[in-house]
Amino acid sequence: MIIEKMNYSKKMKAVLFDGSLRLVSDYPRPLLKPDWAVIKVIKAGICRTDIELIKGYMGFKGILGHEFIGVIEDTIDKSLIGRRVTGEINVSCGKCAMCKMGLKRHCYNRAVQGIHKIDGAMAEYCTLPIENLKIIPDEISDEKAVFIEPMSAAAQILTQITIEANDTCVILGDGKLGILCAWVMTTVCRDVTIVGHHENKLNAARWNGLKTITDISEIKTGVDIVIEATGSLSGLTDAVKICRPMGIIILKSTVASKIEIDLSIVTINEISIIGSRCGLFDDGIGIMRNWKDMPIERLITARYPISEAVTAFEKAVQRDSLKVLLEF
Amino acid sequence: MIIEKMNYSKKMKAVLFDGSLRLVSDYPRPLLKPDWAVIKVIKAGICRTDIELIKGYMGFKGILGHEFIGVIEDTIDKSLIGRRVTGEINVSCGKCAMCKMGLKRHCYNRAVQGIHKIDGAMAEYCTLPIENLKIIPDEISDEKAVFIEPMSAAAQILTQITIEANDTCVILGDGKLGILCAWVMTTVCRDVTIVGHHENKLNAARWNGLKTITDISEIKTGVDIVIEATGSLSGLTDAVKICRPMGIIILKSTVASKIEIDLSIVTINEISIIGSRCGLFDDGIGIMRNWKDMPIERLITARYPISEAVTAFEKAVQRDSLKVLLEF
């Protein structure tokens, strides 16, 4: 009770969306709940999902942010205080059919940090269950660590399908997630190509033999693995067109919109379309430890102090922007 | 040369579609080509695909029919003459990338019996490469054997996904293929339900614990495996709705039509949508041998002599019809 009163009396800066986006400085600091931790945020990334949220996606209202690193400020296990952490974004109930199957991130009753039901990390302090926190290895810098969440989402692909070294892979979309997916795929496939329309993003993407093209017509049909990461699912028609019979299409775009599509070719060619959202942070961290020269910092377009959060969002929505970071 | 001349001089009855559907009696008998066989047809089934073909699907013109049994009339290996056979419908080139990968039925240059490029089996004689023919075990009756092709298409599902005994499975669509898929699934899953709108078809479908319902709203969400076999892909929206996170949707419908659909839930719930067309005949035959009491004959609505082929098609298109057979 004393802890709660102490915390509650304190205010903090936070990036709030409640129909309009703004910085507030009098948001109550999160209370310490049993089995949760309060984290002092160091950096937070602006994700494509955040940009969709301020357009009304999910109907979310509250503090934005689900890509962050910080230091544990308080929790029941005092040995954890001061540790540098990031956090898995899905907060599960532990009781539903999905949780009982071990699919906690698909919990039917889940809250998602800064996306659904609970406040996010674009604030001086945030809070998550202890079980969601991952201690960041010293060898991973603060700036790289902000990418653990999207890197895990990219690494998730490797857990969903079997991949052969000689498989060809095409990634549609040169956004942050598209580039991370492409980099992850270059670590397992010989022939990986990313298709995009932004010269600066394609320049940033060139690493580990990744090929970059601007026109999908350059791709011969018969691709083994196609990753749809255009951000709008509009690329699915293209994906179906270039995928080989019995090939695989990974769907990474989550933005809700109805598309008109002829899927009969999916049946005829026995194509697999596999939805892929977020992955285990251990996998994202594993990729970063195994591939220390992966040029993750190239994906940072700009850095802003939290006081300039609204400007940071304006920057993030620009067509040429990759990752925009908020610093605390 | 002598053989060719002999054959060419002979005429046969055939069910021809060249913009209109009709029985002709002066169609030239197929010539014997090297590595092929000429088969005297005993029975042929009218498939949903045939009905689509006479609406213009695939732009096919020629003799219809790809579900048949017959007796080998002539081939280079004289020991095969007189054997009772059916045939795999995809005739492959043996040279393209798909053939070299061992995916002959996805051959880029394939012809498909009675569907694409080559004549089908609704005639007194048909012809296929020897490698496409399967000798029918004596224990499988002529009428059951006509179902080897669609049974193999149903059995294909078992080769594409891993299935657990406790998985729940829902089949959307009570057509012939839907029922065969449902029966195959009852052999591996404890809890299989078929959804349809035809009382007589659902009555025919009841076997091996298969549950039948007419209203999809009776299904609680969270189905492990959903099979879309409505014949129009229109069921995909329903399939996505009832499929559990990380569940599987099998797409069986091949009829080309644009659908409007929101696929973001496929990404969010990490659902796999797997196209499934036709399977290896050994698998279909294996199912029939392992499950001798599977009531396949129940799926036969009517039998017609080839002289009444047009009437048979009129019967086959009726809403309540299941399989209509042509007899020679």
Give pLDDT tens digits for B55-83: 988 899 999 999 999 999 999 999 999 99
Q: Do both B19 and B48 map to the same domain?
A: yes
| Span of A32-36, A229-233, B195-199, B206-210 with lowest mean pLDDT | A229-233
Q: Do both A71 and A166 map to the same domain?
A: no
The DSSP 8-state label assigned to residue A130 in this structure reads G
pLDDT, tens digit, for every residue of B152-202?
999 999 999 999 999 999 999 999 999 999 999 999 998 999 999 999 999
**β-pair partners for B71:** B40, B84
* Residue B231: predicted pLDDT: 84
Q: How confident is the model at residue B107 (pLDDT cuts 50, 70, 90)?
A: very high
How many of the other CB atoms lie within 10 Å of CB of B158?
17
Inside any domain, residue B147: no
Inside any domain, residue B284: no
Inside any domain, residue B283: no
Q: Do both A157 and A135 map to the same domain?
A: no
Q: Which residues are CB-neighbours of A174 under 8 A, at least 6 positions away?
A: A194, A195, A196, A197, A198, A201, A202, A205, A212
pLDDT at B5 over 50: no
Q: Do both A90 and A45 map to the same domain?
A: yes
* Residue B259: predicted pLDDT: 84
Q: Do both A14 and A102 map to the same domain?
A: yes
Question: How many structural domains are present in chain A?
Answer: 2
Q: What is the CATH number of the domain that holds A248?
A: 3.40.50.720
User: Residue A198, class by beta-carbon neighbours within 10 Å (0-12 exposed, 13-18 middle, 19+ buried)?
Assistant: middle
Residue ranges with strand state E in chain B: 11-17, 21-28, 36-46, 62-63, 68-75, 84-87, 90-91, 111-113, 117-118, 125-129, 133-135, 168-172, 191-195, 211-213, 223-228, 243-251, 258-262, 272-275, 300-305, 323-327
pLDDT, tens digit, for every residue of A48-79?
899 999 998 889 999 999 999 999 999 999 99
Asked if B261 lies within 8 A of A262 by C-beta distance, the reply is no
Q: What is the CATH number of the domain that holds B49?
A: 3.90.180.10
Average pLDDT, chain B: 94
CA dist., res. B153 & res. A277, Å (int): 31
Q: Do both B271 and B296 map to the same domain?
A: no
CA dist., res. A251 & res. A273, Å (int): 7
Per CB-CB distance under 8 Å, the chain A contacts of B244 are 97-98
User: Residue B52, class by beta-carbon neighbours within 10 Å (0-12 exposed, 13-18 middle, 19+ buried)?
Assistant: middle
How many of the other CB atoms lie within 10 Å of CB of B280?
15
Across the interface, which of A246, A266, A277 has its CB nearest the CB of B106? A246
* Residue B4: predicted pLDDT: 47
- Orientation of helix B148-160 relative to helix B281-290, angle to 10°: 100
Q: How confident is the model at residue B1 (pLDDT cuts 50, 70, 90)?
A: very low
Q: Do both A24 and A127 map to the same domain?
A: yes
* Domain ranges, residue A75: 8-139+292-327
pLDDT, tens digit, for every residue of A151-185?
999 999 999 999 999 999 999 999 999 999 999 99
* Residue B9: predicted pLDDT: 61
pLDDT, tens digit, for every residue of A93-141?
999 999 999 999 999 999 999 999 999 999 999 999 999 999 999 999 9
Q: Do both A66 and A131 map to the same domain?
A: yes
Question: Nearest 5°: phi and psi at A199?
Answer: -60, -40
Average pLDDT, chain A: 94
Closest A-chain CA to B261: A258
Q: Which residues of B touch A (CB under 8 A)?
A: 97-98, 103, 106, 160, 222, 233, 236, 244-246, 251-264, 266-277
pLDDT at A303 over 90: yes
Q: Do both B119 and B181 map to the same domain?
A: no
- Residues of chain A with pLDDT > 70, as a percent, come to 97
Q: How confident is the model at residue B101 (pLDDT cuts 50, 70, 90)?
A: very high
CA dist., res. A211 & res. A218, Å (int): 12
Q: Do both A12 and A134 map to the same domain?
A: yes
- Beta strands B36-46 and A168-172 are unpaired
Q: Do both A171 and A115 map to the same domain?
A: no
CA dist., res. B285 & res. B154, Å (int): 11
Provide the token pair at B49: 């695909």
Provide the token pair at A80: 């954890």
Asked if A267 lies within 8 A of B254 by C-beta distance, the reply is yes
Inside any domain, residue A286: no
Contact B113, B66 (CB under 8 A): yes
Q: Which helix (H) or strand (E) holds A297?
A: none
Asked if A262 lies within 8 A of B258 by C-beta distance, the reply is yes
CA dist., res. A287 & res. A193, Å (int): 19
Across the interface, which of B160, B236, B268 has its CB nearest the CB of A263? B236
- Identify the domain boundary among B275, B300, B315: B275
* Residue B276: predicted pLDDT: 97
Inside any domain, residue A282: no
Identify the residue among A272, A276, A277, A280 best suited for mutation to test binding to B, counting B beta carbons within 10 A and taking the highest. Answer: A272
CA dist., res. A72 & res. A85, Å (int): 7
Q: Do both B261 and B301 map to the same domain?
A: no
CA dist., res. B274 & res. B65, Å (int): 26
* For residues A187-195, average pLDDT: 96
How many of the other CB atoms lie within 10 Å of CB of A138?
7
pTM of the entire predicted model: 0.93
| ipTM score | 0.92
